[in-house]
Copies of this chain bind each other. A is one copy, B any other.
């Protein structure tokens, strides 16, 4: 299939014209984090996308997809492309880029697939530009990719993808990103193979919430942030409650309540919907517990007959990583 594509030469020897290229791996991320809707996220050590980027003499963004997802190759409609176009707008001395993207994070999984594409592309570009941009700028560029993916310029996947670790987006306009220290945490993710579109998941939310629920929510986010920074696992667990979003969105995910219940029985500190779903994540204090949680998740989806994929991983503290430079 790829052989019929006019960029084939780039696929086989894509950046072999003497220009400098860079390869990055760009991690999956968990956004929202239960009580941190729209403001909190963290990066995972797996899965990761692989992106290879080269500065091009041809104007615009040339995209080669080296995977099975048939994502758009027109820059304006492609998540990485839109992010790179935003960067190009402010980069007068560069005409264009050539990008090869190999996605391992399935689009629509709820673990930041679009953020990995957008963030990976701009971090790679910045490396080729001798890191002339600050991380805040890269987040700003990458948010244009999120807009292509979901219609909303949110940063709660982008920021942890670029910064690594747990990040708070205190404010989106103006952008204010606060890295949050966290103790070692093991993350179990289950991705039921159903589709929940981010746009749909946003649409079912109520525009108004009860003040008394909002108070509980900000008590919990305050507790969660304190728990992360203090390294207080028990407080992290107690704070992982969502009174606003989860009750509405969880109905879109078959097995959600059972996964949550069984995961906690297996020893998870807590967890909930990853991003806008359908993936569900659970945090655990140690690897053995995270494996037990995985077993519990598998059992639930086996029982209800929904195909799934699981990851048992840890929090990625470095974000998008440069792996090779030619």
Contact = CB atoms under 8 A, between A and B. Distances in A.
Interface of A: 35-40, 168-171, 176, 178, 180, 205-212, 214-226, 229-230, 235, 238-239, 244
A206 B180 CA distance: 32
Contacts of A230: 229
Contact of A238 (B36, B176, B216): B176
Contacts of A170: 219-220, 222-223, 235, 238-239
A38 B216 CA distance: 9
8 contacts: A169-B219, A170-B220, A171-B223, A207-B212, A211-B244, A217-B218, A218-B221, A229-B229
B215 A207 contact: no
Contact of A209 (B208, B221, B238): B208
Nearest to A227: B178
Contacts of A37: 215, 218
Given A221-B221, A223-B168, A225-B225, A244 B178 contact: no
A37 B216 CA distance: 10
Given A37-B215, A168-B226, 9 more contacts: A38-B219, A171-B216, A176-B238, A208-B208, A208-B211, A217-B218, A218-B218, A222-B225, A225-B226
A218 to B, nearest CB: 4
A226 to B, nearest CB: 5
Given A208-B210, A209-B211, A211-B244, A178 B226 contact: yes
B178 A223 contact: yes
A224 B176 CA distance: 13
A211 B205 contact: yes
Contacts of A244: 211, 214
Nearest to A220: B170
Contacts of A209: 208-211, 214
Contact of A223 (B176, B215, B216, B220): B176
A216 to B, nearest CB: 7
B223 A221 contact: no
The list of the 9 closest CB pairs from A to B, nearest first, reads A170-B223, A39-B219, A214-B214, A218-B218, A208-B208, A218-B221, A170-B219, A222-B225, A229-B229
